[in-house]
Amino acid sequence: MRAFVEFYLNNAKNLATTVGYIPLPDEGYQLAKVQYHKAEIGTTFEGVPEPNVTIAEVLRRQAKFQTEQEAKRASNSNQ
């Protein structure tokens, strides 16, 4: 798994461009590498659309882990 993730993070920008996708900014891949090497579980997404937040801002957040029950409660309180 480690080899795959490192290959992906080192090559994703070129691979995305090759197949016609829009790659992340360089900073996005660098921050993703930092997050991966920290080996923390969880997510940096808040569970709701955040259209004005950059990839870099999301990746700089502290990862949070929620049980399935906690995630459902949080989702219900956002409605």
Query: Tens-of-pLDDT digits for all 79 residues of the chain?
Result: 999 999 999 999 999 999 999 999 999 999 999 989 988 788 887 778 889 999 899 888 888 887 777 777 777 776 6
Nearest-angstrom CA–CA distance, 70 and 74:
6
pLDDT value at position 5?
94
pLDDT score recorded for residue 24:
92
Is this model's pTM higher than 0.85 or not?
no
In angstroms, the CA 40 to CA 32 distance is 12
pLDDT for position 17? 97
**What pLDDT does residue 4 have?**
96
